[in-house]
Structure formats: C-alpha cells, structure tokens
Amino acid sequence: MDIGLVGLGKMGGNMRTRLRNAGHTVVGFDLDPEKRDVDSLEEMVQALPSPKVVWVMVPSGKITQDTVDALGELLGEGDLVIDGGNSRWTDDQAHAAQLGEKGIGFVDCGVSGGVWGLENGYALMYGGSADDVATAQPIFDALKPEGDFGAVHAGKVGAGHFSKMVHNGIEYAVMQSYAEGWELLQAVDVVDNTTEVFRSWREGTVIRSWLLDLLVGALDEDPGLASIAGYADDSGEGRWTVEAGIENAVATPAITAALYARFVSRQDDSPAMKAVAAMRNQFGGHAVQSAKSSGEPGPEPDLA
Amino acid sequence: MDIGLVGLGKMGGNMRTRLRNAGHTVVGFDLDPEKRDVDSLEEMVQALPSPKVVWVMVPSGKITQDTVDALGELLGEGDLVIDGGNSRWTDDQAHAAQLGEKGIGFVDCGVSGGVWGLENGYALMYGGSADDVATAQPIFDALKPEGDFGAVHAGKVGAGHFSKMVHNGIEYAVMQSYAEGWELLQAVDVVDNTTEVFRSWREGTVIRSWLLDLLVGALDEDPGLASIAGYADDSGEGRWTVEAGIENAVATPAITAALYARFVSRQDDSPAMKAVAAMRNQFGGHAVQSAKSSGEPGPEPDLA
Amino acid sequence: MDIGLVGLGKMGGNMRTRLRNAGHTVVGFDLDPEKRDVDSLEEMVQALPSPKVVWVMVPSGKITQDTVDALGELLGEGDLVIDGGNSRWTDDQAHAAQLGEKGIGFVDCGVSGGVWGLENGYALMYGGSADDVATAQPIFDALKPEGDFGAVHAGKVGAGHFSKMVHNGIEYAVMQSYAEGWELLQAVDVVDNTTEVFRSWREGTVIRSWLLDLLVGALDEDPGLASIAGYADDSGEGRWTVEAGIENAVATPAITAALYARFVSRQDDSPAMKAVAAMRNQFGGHAVQSAKSSGEPGPEPDLA
Amino acid sequence: MDIGLVGLGKMGGNMRTRLRNAGHTVVGFDLDPEKRDVDSLEEMVQALPSPKVVWVMVPSGKITQDTVDALGELLGEGDLVIDGGNSRWTDDQAHAAQLGEKGIGFVDCGVSGGVWGLENGYALMYGGSADDVATAQPIFDALKPEGDFGAVHAGKVGAGHFSKMVHNGIEYAVMQSYAEGWELLQAVDVVDNTTEVFRSWREGTVIRSWLLDLLVGALDEDPGLASIAGYADDSGEGRWTVEAGIENAVATPAITAALYARFVSRQDDSPAMKAVAAMRNQFGGHAVQSAKSSGEPGPEPDLA
C-alpha cells in the first residue's frame, strides 16, 4: 500500500526502509532536505492515493500537535492518521476528536525496539476503532517482528500509547534492577569478574532477558563501564507512568525508584542532601563537607 | 563420576535425574525413606570411591550446618563438599574453614532454574579454588544448560552464593517491575485485554524476558489472577541482598521496594497505617475507619 | 474590617469565629442554611462596603472554580478575592487572570492548623501582589498564631498554595516516619510499653514535634490503636507534591513512600502482588495463597 | 552520688559537666590526658565507693567491647555498668551476660540531644532490671530535661538502645522529609524566599518541630546552603533500623529512602547509573555522557 511518513529520524528512517523492504510505497517527509522524498507535507499528501494513510513519527508534544494540525487541513473524509511517536496517551483522544471532525480516522501506535527494530521488527501496540486498525493492518504487519508476538490491538484510541507508556515504565524499573545488582556485585570483594557472572546469567536463570543481553554487550565493550558517566536522562514516559499511577492510586515504587535514581544522577550536588547535612551539623556538631571539596568528612565529634 | 547427593526434595530430586541422565552415578540420601537411595549419610559416603564428592542440597541455615558437621566427620583429606543450597554467602567461608581443617575441599554453588531446570538445565554460579572447581566440573557440566552460558566460576569461596544472592535480588525487582505495570494497565479503563498486551511484549520489545513469558503463562491460566491472593512470601535472599547493600553503602531502592511490597502483602492490617490514620484524626478531624470495617471512609470534614 | 466568607464548614466556621473574636465583621455564606449569615452570594456581596474583600474557603477544584466564576460576576474594580482553600497552585494564576480582567485582585492563601486553629491560630502562606496582600493583611493578622511565626508572604500568586502543598508533602513523610518507627518498636519483643517510649520523646530528643505530640495523644486514647484500621486516605496535596517533583526532576522518595503506603493501605488485595505470586508459582513451584484465604502459605517446595 | 565516666568527648564531657552541676561526683577517664580526671580505668574504679557505678560513653563496637571487658575485670558483685553510647541493641544482651557472670549489673541507655543536651538535658531511654535502673536513677534524673518527658525505662536490657535506634531511624526520615520539601520549594520559580517560608512554619503548622527550627537556624547562617556540600554521612543507627525492619518483615520505606539518599550523596559517580546509561545506549542509541564530562547530553536521536 501507499504510506505517507512524516519524520525520518533514526526511527522513522529505519521504518521507511523496513516498509519498503516489505513492498510498500513510502512517501517520506522530514524537515531535513537530505532525508526526505518530497519537499512538503502538501506534496506528500498529494502523492498518496485515497484513502490516504499517513504515519506520523515526530517528537511528542508541540511538533506532533503541529503535524496533526497540518494534516487536519490537508486530509479529508476517510483518510487516516497513525501517530507512531511517543505521544502522551492523554493527548490521543484530543487528536482523534480534532481529526474526527473532518472525518479523518486516527490510530495511536506505541513502538518499541530501538535501533534493532529495522532488522528484528518493531513491537507495536495500537489503539483505535476496528475499521481504522484494519486499514493500517498492512503497515503493522510489515513493521512487526516475525512470529506470534509483537503486535496488539490494545483497545480504543489511547490504548496504544498507554500500553507503550506502561512498557517503558516497566523498562525503567527492569534496567534499574540489573543496575543495582551490578553495583552490588562490584562493591564486595568476592567475585573475580562481574562481567562473566552477568554473562552466565543469559541462560538457565530466572532473570534472563534481552536487557540483560544488552548489558552484557555493554560490559564487553567496556568491562568496568569506566568510560560511561553515571548519568541517565529520561524521556518522559517514565514520568507519565508514575503520574498515571498517582492519578489512579496505584503504587509504583520500583518504577518510581528508577525514575528518581535518574533525577539524582543528573545533579552535581543535591539540595536535599545539603539540607540534611545542615541539620546534622546543627544538632550534632557533625562535620559537614564544604561544597565541592573532596575527601572524607572528619570524624564524628559527638562521642569520645 | 560418582556423586553423593544429600537432599532429594523438588530441586535435589530433579538434579539426581539430570545427573543420571548424563551418565553419572548418584547415591542420594534424604530424610524421607521413599526418596533416598541409601539409609544414612554414612552409607552414602561408604558407597563413594575416593576422592569422594558430595553435593549438599538442603535448606540453608541449621540443616546445612548440621550436614556440613556430619560430613566433616565422615569425609577426609582430598574429598570435596559442594553446597548447592541457598546458603548465605557469609556462611561459606566458615564452612570452608571448618572442612579445610580436615583437608576436605569446599565449593559453594548457587543454582537457578526452578522446576524448569530438569529439562532446560540449571544456571550455576560457583566459588572455590581452581582445583576444587576442576574436581566438580563434570557435575557442573551435566547440570548446566546447553550452550555458551549458564555456568560461571565466579571467584573464591562465597562468590557463588553471593552471585546467586544478587541474582535473586535482581529477580525480586524485575518481578515487581512487571507486577506494577500489570496493576497500572488494569487500573485505567483504556486497554481492552491486558493479557494480550503482555503477550504481545514477548517479541520485539525492550522488556522481553523469561519472567514475562512466565507471567503470560500465569495470565493464560487465570486471566485476571482472580484465584491468586496478593500475598507473596520471601525466601531470604532478597533480604540478604538488601542487607549486603546496606553493609556496603550501596543503595538498592528497586530491590528494596520489591521486598517491602512482599512484607506489606502479608499483613492483614498495617500498624504503620494505623498510626498515620490516628495522626490524621488528631489534627484534622479526618474520619478514620474502624478496624476491620469495610467501605469507604466518610467525607473530609475539614473544608466546607 | 468587613469580610465576606464563602464556605462555613469546620475550617470556615472556625475562621469566622476567630475573625469575629478579633473584631472584624464577617458576612458568611454557605450552602447549608443553618450555618450561613446571608442567603446568597449576591446578598453577601451587597452587604460589604467597597473595596469588597471576600475569603473563599470551599473544596478545591470545581466548587472553587464555580465560586470564582460567580464572584467574578458580582465583584468589580478594586475588590479582592482570597482563596484560602486547598486549591492546586497551578490553578491560582488562571483565577488571578480571570478576575484581573475585571480589575479584581486575587491572593491565594494556604492554611494549616486543622481543628486546633480556632484556638491557636492558623499558619498562613499567601501569594499575590504587595498591594493585594496589604489589603488582606488585617485578616491574616487575625487568623495567624501569636508570636513571630506562622504567616508569610511567600511570593507572587500561586506561591501561597505552592508553599502549603510542599508543607503537606513534608507532613505526609513526617507522619510516615513516626508510623514506621511505631510499627518497628512494636514488632520486636524488647520494649515493654511503646506508648511510654513515644511519650518520653516529647522532650530533649531530636525528633520532638507537634505530630509526635498528636501521636502520643492518639496512643493515650487507644494504646495499641486497636480500634483504628490501617487505612489512610489522601487529600490531593501529597499527590500534587510528588507530581511537582516529577515535573521539576526533584526526587522525593520519602514523600512518595508515604503516599504509596496510603494507596496500598486502601486495597483489599494488591493486583501487583497477585502478579508476583503468580510468577513465583510459575518458576519455583512456590505455593500461592488462594484469594481471600487466610493462614500461612505452605512450606517452600523447592528444596529438600 | 559517685559516678565513674569513661569517655570524655563532646558528649561525655558535657555529661560530666551536667552531672557535676547537679551535685554528683564524677571521676572521668579518657584516652586524652587533657580531658581526664584520672590516668587509668583502675584509678577511676578505685576512686569509687561501692557499689561502684560506671557510665560508659565511648564509640560503639570494638571500643565499647574493650571497655566492657576491662570493667569486667575491675568491677565486682553489686557494681553497675551503664552503656550510654550508641551500641547496637543486639550487643547489649551479650554485655549483660558477660558482666552478669561476675554479679555486675548492666543497663543500656540511649541518649539523644546532641550538643544542646548540656543546657537542655538529654533524652534518655534505658533498659535493664528494675533494681539496676533504680541504682542509676539519680544519674538519669540529673541528665534528663526538666518536665514530664525525656526519660523512659523502656524495658529489659536492650530496650534502651533499641528505642534509641528507632528514634534515630525516625530522625533520618524526618530530616529527609524536610530536605525534600526544601529542594522542591527551591526548584520552582514561584516562592521568593524559601527561608522565610520555612521560618513561618515554626508556629501554627502541622509540621512544626525542633528539626524544623534547626533547619531554619542553618538557613539563617547560609540562606541557600551554598557553603555546605550535599554530602551526608551516616552513623550506623539508620542502617540498624532498616536491618531490624527487614529481620522482622517490617517495611520502612521512608527511613530506607533517607538512608539510601545518604549513600548516594557520597558517591562521585554511581555505578548503577553507569549501567543504566550503558543499557540505554545499547538499545536506543541514546547519547551517553563521557565519564566526568560536564554539560548536557546530546539530543535524543531515536525520533525525528
């Protein structure tokens, strides 16, 4: 089938390739002239036969909204927009309603797989009406991994991005789980080679997983991870997962721990810990460390 | 080779089978007369050629200590004891020293794989001297999974159980990660079928893993898990992991969250939450719920 | 001065009394005819001399918005609305802008003190322009506690409710702190009388506080808190605090722990723990407890 | 009465002063010749009338054990040792048994109050037999604060240090509570002066406390705490509290959060976060930050 594809970054570009490999005709647009097939959204839309199907693969938030706005002007009755980006699931219903006023269908699709998706296929979770999903089905079939798993019609509009959000929340916590284990394994002087222990876990253990495989890959490249800073960004979906938990009174302590560990990893100095140190100093005469100084603090003065 | 095997429960019994399938001669002893091959430890030891090799697969703590004590009396110079149970790694050095006084070697071996190990092989992490490990190697080779992974000489005595303890700590947190995601996915009315979403994650996603496969298996048996109480026991290694973290000033917030969630799951009523409710009542005139009553609390009285 | 007061519940009613005790003229309106001084907002506004000052003390969200809407119709240039309720601080700027279009001033005021405020005074944190705060100052002076503390002009509009929100977030975590200590003190068979230990802490300790005093009061009424269920509601500000932390990449692990403990306290059974129990059962043959059954689970079957 | 006092550091020295101010005769020994009244433990013991009462105020662990060992040699039937240091409560029973073999009594006493205790009195929690506590009562009366609170006979031997341990665990979490609130209050650009907000909370609020007063004192000395590093040591009792919780299956998430925040505050770089960053890099092509580099990481490359 013919597909318009907006956004040809690392993810969108690879998807174009995988769709074409499956025999589809993809007309891609991107702000970057070197990546795009056509020079404007208008040109892209004109190149598509009706009903026109457009896959949007741009950053969530304002850029996605702008793209939906623009497509709302260019598309019409019976056409379909699929948002494959990382939109917050609570935005989906608004986008569906906005486009629905013109008779344009809407499907939200969460995508997992990272840079490996081009070769292995992308896991897809999508939400929308049965008719709209049926229209998009050939695209999903081309993008998904081979085999029985990797694609699901999760429910109504929003269910796709909601499922992907929860997936990412789980991912945060699973990564944190391995990371804590790795730190502890290194901290005690009993294991000779932590990389080999992690490698051995790849088969037969309860905790074997793809993330474990990836971590072993990283450890093979740099056994002590000496070249990598203990600094981890977050891309929104972990926050949304915790917020969704809070709104629904669902405790997510492990996911939240993972998120907070990232927050703290990005601080040069912790204001909260400044306050703790200040209080300790007030009541106990505990030595405080001067800001930015290095070295151990002095001995505890409150006991002989 | 000839192997003495002490403890023929679910794990030990399956290991006997797997060792025999690999061509080894196993002489098993258990307190249960229906399971054992010989009627006493003495008989077991006498049946083994020298150097005698005994695999201990009994509950950690007192029973393991009693078994080590008894074997210390029965074995001698050049023999070898392998502790394949869930002993705390800090006990291993003491056991090695105790047996070493008589010239008996000692290897600690953490074992993962559960009821699936009989067929798929057991993941093994072992600690001890190069010579002792070499003596035990045929056993490890028979028990481990096929392929490149699943067995590791982790380091000196203690390194095996330490690695297994960290493995289990990670396992606690990974299980908690999926569990939180499942609760959240169910809590919001947007996904039609949470089982199908979890099933789809088995391929192509970042979070694909064996534990995910198991959870899907459980959901297939009982889609809403209605027949299972939200009650989770813990078997010691999660606690030891957190304690090892504390002793070494390593924060393990996700693993700890998993452990604490299990503690709370076993309480009929939370004393801490009684105290919180009592304080709220004191300052705000907040309605408290009578112990064991059901139903929602009354409206907040502190605002018009 | 003359003050219109909307909302005469437990908090608003006590505030009316305290304002009148300070010599102010209060015209109160409430939906409840038995509590109110006038029968309508219109009548209340007409009874006030210009510039009219109205204190709003109603539940946050829709009722506050409706009240702001109505006052926006009834008041005019130079009048002032003070929102003393528990509004989310992010709503304040919108209310200020809405009223500002008509020249009506707006101050947000967080109020602490609970049922004790009538006698001891209310702690006040307010946000707004210097002029608007100056207009409201006689009210603040009447409501605040005696002494040097208990009232602060925290900043621009929103700063009052933001400060109160953070206050409440801290309150959640401090309550949780004492609650955890109380549970632990009771759990170990070494202290004879936990109430007396807590009582002793009221002087000389690092942790003496008003909340500790309140907890001792509750323990005096019911030493083991046997009559109170371990069930704690939450009123919004704890959630908002955690969400504000997340939006600003500020980790609040203790406050979050307090919030999550309340969420869990309200569950009859934990879906997440059902999932954990289900996974344990799959890999280990661990006994699961049937839903709603009581008693201990069976012994661990995976070791001899 | 006559009291032997071992350990004349900041705490012990102040206690000597307070005891002497109350009319007691104190014979103090310390390793530091400038602080001590006598030159040896032997001399101290000889200077005391029978029954001899010795207060031990030295660091917990080996030094306390050595002191108990020495006093066990020097004292006899009917004498009394009071351990006022920060011993782990699980050591107390052993010390009591060791001394009890010679008929020497033993009382453990947790002490709170820090550098303020000299003037305000020390909060005391003690454990031991009724007879031993009665012997020590004049000391407790001299050290405790005036008023009805501040001293408690908590139970049998160990109850004093156990109560003090729980007190300190609570203290960790309460400090963390204020610290999180302070960081959040500073992080959002709406409050003009966070110190003034904290100061206002000293009266009328739910969260007024001595620790809050201390924090305001620290903020007055250094409003932004710019001179203090976000580095907080821990002195053992927080760890013991969490460990006691784990041993008794009592979840202490807020106390644990406080402890872990201190652990992390002392790391230059977090190994766990290195592992998280490494995994992110593997699956997503996420930019990682080179170790020790500064500045923001690059843009997320996985979406157009």
Check residue A287 and give its pLDDT.
Answer: 62
Q: At C103, list the tokens.
A: 């020249």
Check residue B299 and give its pLDDT.
Answer: 30
Residue with tokens 């002392």: D266
A169 pLDDT above the threshold of 80: yes
DSSP labels, B212-240: HHHHHHHHHHSTT-TTB-S-----SHHHH
E strands in chain C: 2-6, 25-29, 53-56, 80-83, 105-112, 123-127, 151-155
Residues whose CB is less than 8 angstroms from the CB of residue A124 and which lie 6 or more positions away in sequence, other chains included: A109, A110, A111, A112, A140, A143, A144, A150, A151, A152, A160, B200, B204
C104-113, D110-119, D158-167: the lowest-pLDDT one: D110-119
Q: How far is CA B250 from the centre of its chain?
A: 21
- Does the N-terminal peptide bond of residue B51 adopt cis geometry, omega within 30 degrees of 0? yes
Query: How far does the CA of residue C88 sit from the closest CA of chain B (Å)?
Result: 15
> CB C193 to CB D155 under 8 A?
yes
Report the chain C residue with the minimal C-alpha distance to residue B13.
C304
**Dihedral, CA atoms, A257, A258, A263, A269, nearest 10 degrees?**
70
pTM for this model (two decimals): 0.94
Check residue C303 and give its pLDDT.
Answer: 28
CB atoms within 10 A of CB B281: 17
* B258-300 pLDDT, tens digit each: 999 999 999 999 999 999 999 999 987 666 676 644 333 323 3
- Amino acid, res. D245: G
Residues whose CB is less than 8 angstroms from the CB of residue A27 and which lie 6 or more positions away in sequence, other chains included: A2, A3, A4, A5, A37, A38, A44, A47, A48
Dihedrals phi, psi of D290, to nearest 5 degrees: -65, 150
- Per DSSP, the three-state class of C139 is helix
Domain ranges within chain D, ordered by starting residue: 2-157, 165-266
Q: Is the dihedral of CA D254, D255, D256, D259 positive or negative?
A: positive
ipTM: 0.93
> CB B215 to CB C275 under 8 A?
yes
CATH of domain C165-266: 1.10.1040.10
* D230-259 pLDDT, tens digit each: 999 998 999 999 999 999 999 999 999 999
- Per DSSP, the three-state class of D275 is helix
Contacts of C239 in chain D (CB under 8 A): none
Check residue B288 and give its pLDDT.
Answer: 65
* D28-40 pLDDT, tens digit each: 999 999 999 999 9
Spatial separation of the C-alpha atoms in residues A122 and A114, rounded to whole Å: 8
pLDDT band at residue B116, thresholds of 50, 70 and 90?
Answer: confident
pLDDT band at residue D113, thresholds of 50, 70 and 90?
Answer: confident
Contacts of A252 in chain C (CB under 8 A): 260
Give all strands of the β-sheet with C151-155 in edge-to-edge order. Answer: C25-29, C2-6, C53-56, C80-83, C105-112, C123-127, C151-155
Report the residue from A115, A282, A290 with minimal CB separation from D214: A282
Q: How far is CA D114 from CA A285, A302, C267, D134, in A?
A: 8, 7, 41, 25
C292 catalytically annotated: no
Check residue C285 and give its pLDDT.
Answer: 65
Q: At D120, list the tokens.
A: 């305000």
What mean pLDDT is predicted for residues A115-129? Answer: 94
* A33-55 pLDDT, tens digit each: 999 999 999 999 999 999 999 99
Q: Look up residue D54 and give its DSSP letter.
A: E
Q: How far is CA A95 from the centre of its chain?
A: 20
Spatial separation of the C-alpha atoms in residues D240 and D233, rounded to whole Å: 15
Q: How far is CA B77 from the centre of its chain?
A: 32
10 Å CB burial of residue C130 (0-12, 13-18, 19+) is exposed
Spatial separation of the C-alpha atoms in residues B32 and B9, rounded to whole Å: 9
Exposure pattern of A149-188 as b/e (b: 16+ CB <10 Å)? bbbbbbbbbbbbbbbbbbbbbbbbbbbbbbbbbbbbbbbb
Class of domain C2-157 (CATH, top level) = alpha beta
> CB D251 to CB B242 under 8 A?
no
pLDDT band at residue C85, thresholds of 50, 70 and 90?
Answer: very high
What mean pLDDT is predicted for residues C51-80? Answer: 97
Exposure pattern of C272-283 as b/e (b: 16+ CB <10 Å)? bbbbbbbbbbbb
Spatial separation of the C-alpha atoms in residues C197 and B294, rounded to whole Å: 32
> CB A248 to CB B208 under 8 A?
no
The answer to whether B228 faces chain C, any CB pair under 8 Å, is yes
- In chain B, % of residues over pLDDT 70: 93
A260 pLDDT above the threshold of 50: yes
Query: How far does the CA of residue A129 sit from the closest CA of chain D (Å)?
Result: 26
B77 pLDDT above the threshold of 80: yes
What mean pLDDT is predicted for residues B124-145? Answer: 98
Is D192:C158 a contact under the CB 8 Å cutoff?
no
* B6-33 pLDDT, tens digit each: 999 989 999 999 999 999 999 999 999 9
Contacts of D304 in chain A (CB under 8 A): 6-13, 30-31, 57-59
Mean pLDDT rounded to a whole number for chain B: 93
Check residue A113 and give its pLDDT.
Answer: 83
> CB C259 to CB A252 under 8 A?
no
